Amino acid sequence: MQKQDIDRILAELDALSCKTQKEVEEARVRFLGKKGSITALFDEFRTVDKDLKKEFGRPLNELKQTAQTKIESLKESIGGEGAAEVPGIDMSMPGDTMELGSRHPVSIVRQEIVDIFRKFGYDVAEGPEVEDDYHVFEALNFPPNHPARDMQDTFFVSSGHPNPLLLRTHTSSVQVRTMEKMGLPIRVICPGRVFRNEAISARAHCIFHQVEGLYIDENVTFADLRQAILLFAREMFGPETQIRMRPSYFPFTEPSAEVDVSCNICHGKGCNICKGTGWLEILGCGMVDPNVLEASGIDSKKYSGFAFGMGLERIAMLKWRVNDLRHYFENDMRFLEEFATSVKEF
Ligand code: DAH
């Protein structure tokens, strides 16, 4: 090894100029690649004796440093122009456009319902999707052998103990959690996802969405419930909308009712959506059963309240006349794009 070898390469580096990234890469290989001239000097360096090592170690490292810096600066100074010469890439071509997505119909309906009840002074409450038996059934006055607790309806996460974990089958569980932790009076709606072990069809799915409502105060009556639902229905389906209530049964409300709205498609004349009746069922509701109030520590002598629950997919189906529930879950762009502009219109 000789001093001239190092000087010669330094001079070559000094004179080096490149026009394209390809030339820079070739120069890098020539100097620093596996068979490059600097690499060869390092190989040679390994075999020289101790005295020479002292003499050449430092200049050799400096040489390598100089080469790396030079290559880097050439790479940067050529920049994109050189890249344009990479075969197959034409930097002057227009880029791919990114399409904007739109909100899902179920989200649109949920937001509308939340906005309507916010105007009436309701807060929004949420609860866990993985719940326990107590909050989904027991605190809601479900009798011990009620079929809703059966394996056929409920997805259990754990079993074999008195309060198993499960996927909530309705958002009524959030009522219980709200009563447990919120001071009175209570005025909340609870939107959320629910799960039932159902065969998937045009009318049923194992995952769907509900909105629960709960109002508890002194002197709340069935008339208040009826008025709240009527105002909601008119905001949601138009100012001409009528409602009717039919007696029903839910373990957690007494009395209970199901609510129909006048069919806004045929306006009562009878069509295939309302099956000729002029009415469409939209929700279940009732006065909160005193047992449910007491289970969450609320004095049922002093307080009363009402609750209601509705399926979001069902409301969305009525709103947009969608005839198959499965459309909501299949992420078919042709279906989803239909809702891109319908956020506020109805
Ligand atoms: N939880 C009921 C269901 O999933 C819906 C419901 C009915 C909720 C009546 C209520 C109610 O709060 O009062 O079918």
What CATH number is associated with residue 340?
Answer: 3.30.930.10
Q: Does residue 67 share a domain with residue 150? A: no
Question: Of 56, 85, 114, at which residue does a domain stop?
Answer: 85
Residue 80: what pLDDT? 58
Residue nearest to atom 8 of ligand 1 (CA): 309
SS (H, E, C) the chain: CCHHHHHHHHHHHHHCCCCCHHHHHHHHHHHHCCCCHHHHHHHHHHHCCHHHHHHHHHHHHHHHHHHHHHHHHHHHHHHHHHHCCCCCCCCCCCCCCCCCCCCCHHHHHHHHHHHHHHHCCCEECCCCCEEEHHHHCHHHCCCCCCHHHCCCCCCECCCCCCCCEEECCCCHHHHHHHHHHCCCCEEEEEEEEEECCCCCCCCCCCEEEEEEEEEEECCCCHHHHHHHHHHHHHHHHCCCCCEEEEEEEECCEEEEEEEEEECCCCCCCCCCCCCCCCEEEEEEEEEECHHHHHHCCCCCCCCEEEEEEEEHHHHHHHHHCCCCHHHHHCCCHHHHHHHCCCCCCC
Closest atom of ligand 1 to CA, residue 210 = 4
Distance 15 CA to ligand 1 centre (A): 83
Residue 46: what pLDDT? 86
Ligand 1 contact, 21 CB (< 6 A) = no
**Domain encompassing residue 55:** 3-85
State the average pLDDT over residues 318-329.
90
Q: Does residue 178 share a domain with residue 66? A: no
Testing ligand 1's pocket by substitution, the residue of 113, 170, 281 carrying the most ligand atoms inside 8 A of its CB is 170
Q: Does residue 276 share a domain with residue 177? A: yes
* Any domain includes 274: yes
Q: Does residue 170 share a domain with residue 299? A: yes
Testing ligand 1's pocket by substitution, the residue of 281, 289, 308, 310 carrying the most ligand atoms inside 8 A of its CB is 308
d(CA 187, CA 119): 12
pLDDT band at 321 (very low <50, low <70, confident <90, very high): confident
Ligand 1 contact, 286 CB (< 6 A) = yes
Ligand 1 contact, 212 CB (< 6 A) = yes
* Any domain includes 262: yes
Ligand 1 contact, 285 CB (< 6 A) = yes
**Total of domains in the chain:** 2
Residue 86: what pLDDT? 65
Question: Of 85, 120, 146, at which residue does a domain stop?
Answer: 85
Residue 151: what pLDDT? 74
State the average pLDDT over residues 80-107.
77
* Any domain includes 303: yes
Distance 160 CA to ligand 1 centre (A): 27
Q: Give residue-wise pLDDT tens across range 29-80.
A: 999 999 999 999 999 888 888 888 888 888 889 999 999 999 998 888 886 5
Residue 150: what pLDDT? 79
Residue 346: what pLDDT? 42
Ligand 1 contact, 149 CB (< 6 A) = no
pLDDT band at 81 (very low <50, low <70, confident <90, very high): low
* Any domain includes 93: no
Closest atom of ligand 1 to CA, residue 194 = 4
Residue 109: what pLDDT? 96
Ligand 1 contact, 171 CB (< 6 A) = no
Q: Does residue 116 share a domain with residue 172? A: yes
Q: Is 47 exposed, middle or buried (0-12, 13-18, 19+ CB in 10 A)?
A: exposed
Instruction: Please give the radius of gyration of the chain, using alpha carbons only, rounded to the nearest integer.
Output: 36
* Any domain includes 72: yes
User: What's the mean per-residue pLDDT of the chain?
Assistant: 90
State the average pLDDT over residues 288-302.
97
Q: Does residue 242 share a domain with residue 198? A: yes
Q: Does residue 141 share a domain with residue 225? A: yes
* Any domain includes 94: no
Closest atom of ligand 1 to CA, residue 306 = 13
d(CA 109, CA 276): 25
Distance 89 CA to ligand 1 centre (A): 60
Residue 342: what pLDDT? 53
* Any domain includes 100: no
Q: Does residue 280 share a domain with residue 190? A: yes
Distance 51 CA to ligand 1 centre (A): 91
Question: Of 85, 115, 131, at which residue does a domain stop?
Answer: 85
Q: Does residue 139 share a domain with residue 55? A: no
pLDDT band at 275 (very low <50, low <70, confident <90, very high): confident
Distance 36 CA to ligand 1 centre (A): 78
Ligand 1 contact, 71 CB (< 6 A) = no
Global confidence as pTM: 0.73
Q: What percent of the chain has pLDDT over 70?
A: 96
Q: Give residue-wise pLDDT tens across range 191-226.
A: 999 999 999 998 889 999 999 999 999 999 999 999
Testing ligand 1's pocket by substitution, the residue of 174, 250, 254, 315 carrying the most ligand atoms inside 8 A of its CB is 250
Q: Does residue 277 share a domain with residue 206? A: yes
Distance 171 CA to ligand 1 centre (A): 8
Residue nearest to atom 2 of ligand 1 (CA): 309
Q: Does residue 173 share a domain with residue 217? A: yes
Ligand 1 contact, 307 CB (< 6 A) = yes
Q: Does residue 309 share a domain with residue 181? A: yes
Residue nearest to atom 5 of ligand 1 (CA): 309
* Any domain includes 26: yes
State the average pLDDT over residues 130-147.
92
pLDDT over 50 (residue 116)? yes
When mean pLDDT is compared across 76-90, 113-127, 142-156, 226-240, the lowest value belongs to 76-90
